[in-house]
Amino acid sequence: MIDEIINLRNTIHQGDFRLILTPEHWNISYVPEGLEKSNLAIVRSKDGRLRGYAAYYLVHFDHIQAYDIREICAEDRETQAQLIDQIVDKSVKDNVDFVFAKWFEDADKNVLAKRGFSSFSEAVIMVALFNPKELLSTLSEEIENGEVLKLLIKGFDPIFVKVGEKGIMVVNEEKPNLKVSTDSKTFLKLFFNRTSFPKEFFRKKVTTSDILNWQTANRFFKLIKQDKWHIPMGDWV
């Protein structure tokens, strides 16, 4: 069962920035009371294939209790709706006082709103940059042709990156075609696709040594950005 769950998550969130989920992490973070006793909602297709799951457990606040949905992972909206219905039905049956979930995708709002959920802001995920060279090296691949960009992030050593048409490669110090300067906050926002290079360029949060060559910088940030992100609540300790 755990292998099925991990496989489904890896299939659905292939290419998303995410933490690696191992069976050990699953057991501790999602079903700490044991899989057999846990509140795990699942939806299977007629042939028995897992189409979605939701892990949730009982939490207490002062004198009231709630089901905290730690993750919903479903291959389509219909499956997602079925999982939410299962949880709400069980909440009414078990007489818990409320059900809550914290997650990211606005597209899920409609599925939740149709089932009486209200949405509001009360949390923020904050990120700090410690090693941009390690990040870029992990994204590196062998490329032959490209322009060399010297990336200057405030507070870090310069990083030299060859920017090709379809990939980047971190290289040893060499004469750059272009220097790009920014701060770690802007770099992180570009890396996690929370903003765009043109926007930050016009706001002067990113500057280039050669304004005519800004397309190379634009391509560099496009190539490194993580398009989507999936870190459900259960992955947080």
For binding to other proteins (CB under 8 A), which residues are involved? Answer: 14-20, 22, 24-25, 28, 32, 61-64, 88-89, 91-92, 95-104, 106, 109, 112, 115-132, 134-135, 138-139, 141, 184-185, 188-189, 192, 194, 226-227, 229, 231, 235-237
Q: Quick count: other Cβ atoms within 10 Å of Cβ 115?
A: 13
Q: Of 202 and 236, which has the nearer Cβ to other proteins?
A: 236
Specify the residue for token string 């818990």: 96
Asked if 189 and 177 count as a contact pair (C-beta separation under 8 A), the reply is no
Q: What are phi and psi of 182, to 5 degrees?
A: -160, 180
Amino acid at residue number 19 = L
Q: Of 177 and 226, which has the nearer Cβ to other proteins?
A: 226
Q: Quick count: other Cβ atoms within 10 Å of Cβ 201?
A: 19
* Beta carbon of residue 117, minimum distance to other proteins (angstroms, whole number): 4
* Beta carbon of residue 229, minimum distance to other proteins (angstroms, whole number): 7
Torsion of the alpha carbons at 171, 174, 176 and 180, rounded to the nearest 10: 50
Q: Of 50 and 231, which has the nearer Cβ to other proteins?
A: 231
Asked if 135 and 184 count as a contact pair (C-beta separation under 8 A), the reply is no
Q: Of 36 and 106, which has the nearer Cβ to other proteins?
A: 106
